[in-house]
Structure 1
Amino acid sequence: MTRYAVGDLQGCLKPLQCLLNEVEFDHARDQLWLVGDLVNRGPDSLDTLRFLYRIRDSLRITLGNHDLHCIALARGYTQRGRHPTLEALLNAPDCDELMDWLQQQALVLRTDDGRYLMSHAGIPPHWSSDKALALSREVEEALRSEHSADFFREMYGNTPLRWQDELEGNERLRCITNHLTRMRICAADGKLELAFKSGLATIPAGYRPWFQWPTAQPRREKLLFGHWAALECRTGREDIIALDSGCVWGRHMTLFNMDSGEKHRCDCA
């Protein structure tokens, strides 16, 4: 078995299939770890989800902000932010089945051997790996509960911008979700700046990329994340592996061999 991780698909199916063919991926033997944002903006969100659903037993998935938004749209919990690239998916006869499947996915995953920890946007520096997994499970329980509608309706918004253990209810779930699916930069006290989407050269004073702050305790795992296309996969660290290489923006898709460390790329223009 070989394990691979791939950056944000965002409905770009052909580059993904190109990469899987290049490495001779065998869905009966290998594993594909998906860092989230499977849909939206790209040309084939519906076909992408259908393809992934067919090989679902070989996948490990952490949800991204676009995936959560897609579920909210499909369930009728929001009408804002509709995007034309999602219409075919939202109107498909198997949409409910695909959304049911997405709602069973995680926000943070760790490999069985403890070598890697994966989430869509990253892991806040002030959370230990075990705490990130525990907080992820709180959101996952909300996603799978009979009251999931409440979670999705209250999911939108930027506050609270700083994590506090005392947070409760929807504010707590929203804060966890924003850290794991929308975070790029934060201040020394952990305060997020969620409007920032640019590259390293334009980070406002007082903020740094989340992975440049000291961690609460040393991590044993290497971190896999996506979400930040403007980063261009550059973290300056071998233990922090960025995988969103801007496929949907016409650059390329990145597939990472988690066992050998080799990277494969397919142009997406």
Structure 2
Amino acid sequence: MGATHPDRHRYVIGDVQGCFDELQILIQKIGFDPGQDRLWVAGDLINRGPGNLAVLRYLKSLGERVVCVLGNHDIFFLAVVSGAVSQTPEDTLQDLLEAPDRDELVDWLRRRPLFHVEDGYAMVHAGLLPQWSVAQAEDLAAEVECELGGEHWQDFLRGLWGGKPCAWRDDLTGQDRLRIIVNAMSRLRFLRSDASIDLKPKGRPEDQPGLIPWYAYPDARWQTHTILHGHWSALGYRDTGGVIALDSGCVWGGSLTAFRLADRAVWSSPALTTERTGAE
């Protein structure tokens, strides 16, 4: 488990998605001091917004003062680089792909964690399966991190894409095992009653009466920790005590949210444009 750190403050920020100007406004608003504070970012650092290159360069410059978990858009970018997938008209990754320091940024990004645990908190981009304890989820994330950080990371990504299997078993092996770990931690919103994953719906929980939000599944083993997550802009900012949702949809015209661990104080930076469209 993560150790205690003698920081002044730890701030957690939801999905940035290339909204660099809003990120800078929010950083100033909270008074973030990289000499004394640490910044946690709940994934989806890039894509759909206009400032992807600036976002990655800034976060990378913070060194050990930042913890970024990988989101689905971050993994998608790495997959584009690996040749596993192609961009769509909605993607805004060209500034990164053409950057002179692209390879350096790619190497930094692919070595970010999928899951971060510290002092009773656990941060993940999307969600956790109810069968997983926090300790097991740490071990499972490490399996993926080993592949992404390794020499054959491009081969790993080429075999990763897809939505199956949708049900967890401890005896899963190979790409099937890695794929469901990645899908849960970077793409999950809804579960079926048998705890299998349904990746298709993206809206509000109340609009999917036959499905269960992952964070509401009964008797989940991860409930020993407070979970911080992004990915689900339809939720907006929510603090239910045990689960804190931080994606307030900045890239879609909402806002960028920051949360301070010490006292649960919240700040937001409104989107500077509402003209972007597309899928999460």
Q: TM-score, normalised by structure 1?
A: 0.94
Q: Does 2:12 match 1:8?
A: no
Q: Give 5+ residue unaligned stretches, structure 1.
A: none
Structure 1 counterpart of 2:9, one-letter code = T
> Is the CA contact 1:73–1:82 (under 8 Å) kept in the aligned structure 2?
no
Q: Which residue of 2 aligns with 1:228?
A: 232
Task: After TM superposition, list the pairs within 5 Å mapping 1:175-190 onto structure 2.
Answer: 175-190=180-195
Q: Which residue of 1 aligns with 2:25?
A: 18
Identity of aligned residues (%): 40
> Is the CA contact 2:238–2:246 (under 8 Å) kept in the aligned structure 1?
no
- Matched residues in 1 for 2:162 and 2:223: separation? 30
Q: 1:264 aligns with which of 263, 267, 271?
A: 267
Q: CA deviation at 1:49?
A: 0.7
TM-superposition CA deviations, 1:111-163 (whole Å, max 9, x none):
1x2x2101000222221111111100000011112221221001210000111
Q: CA deviation at 1:216?
A: 4.0
Q: Does 2:95 match 1:88?
A: yes
RMSD over equivalenced CA pairs, Å? 1.4
Residues 34-43 or 20-29, more deviating: 20-29
Q: Which residue of 1 aligns with 2:155?
A: 150
> Is the CA contact 2:132–2:222 (under 8 Å) kept in the aligned structure 1?
no
Q: Which residue of 2 aligns with 1:120?
A: 125
TM-superposition CA deviations, 1:65-124 (whole Å, max 9, x none):
10011012123333254655110111101011001001111111101x2x2101000222
Give the direction of change, closer, same or farther, for the CA distance of 1:150–1:41 in structure 2 (3 Å limit). Answer: same
> Is the CA contact 1:125–1:216 (under 8 Å) kept in the aligned structure 2?
yes
Structure 1 counterpart of 2:173, one-letter code = E
Q: Does 2:170 match 1:165?
A: yes
- Matched residues in 2 for 1:80 and 1:151: separation? 19
- Matched residues in 2 for 1:158 and 1:201: separation? 24
- Matched residues in 2 for 1:116 and 1:210: separation? 17
SS in 2 for 1:227: coil
Q: TM-score, normalised by structure 2?
A: 0.91
Q: 1:70 aligns with which of 50, 68, 77?
A: 77
Q: Which residue of 1 aligns with 2:214?
A: 210
Q: CA deviation at 1:267?
A: 0.5
- Matched residues in 1 for 2:23 and 2:244: separation? 18
- Matched residues in 2 for 1:201 and 1:79: separation? 33
SS in 1 for 2:221: coil
TM-superposition CA deviations, 1:16-68 (whole Å, max 9, x none):
11111112111121000010000000110111111111113210111001001
- Matched residues in 1 for 2:21 and 2:256: separation? 10
> Is the CA contact 1:186–1:193 (under 8 Å) kept in the aligned structure 2?
yes
Q: Which residue of 1 aligns with 2:258?
A: 255
Structure 2 counterpart of 1:136, one-letter code = A
Structure 2 counterpart of 1:87, one-letter code = Q
Count of aligned positions: 265
Structure 2 counterpart of 1:157, one-letter code = G
> Is the CA contact 2:247–2:257 (under 8 Å) kept in the aligned structure 1?
yes
Residues 69-78 or 20-29, more deviating: 69-78
Moved over 4 A (4+): none
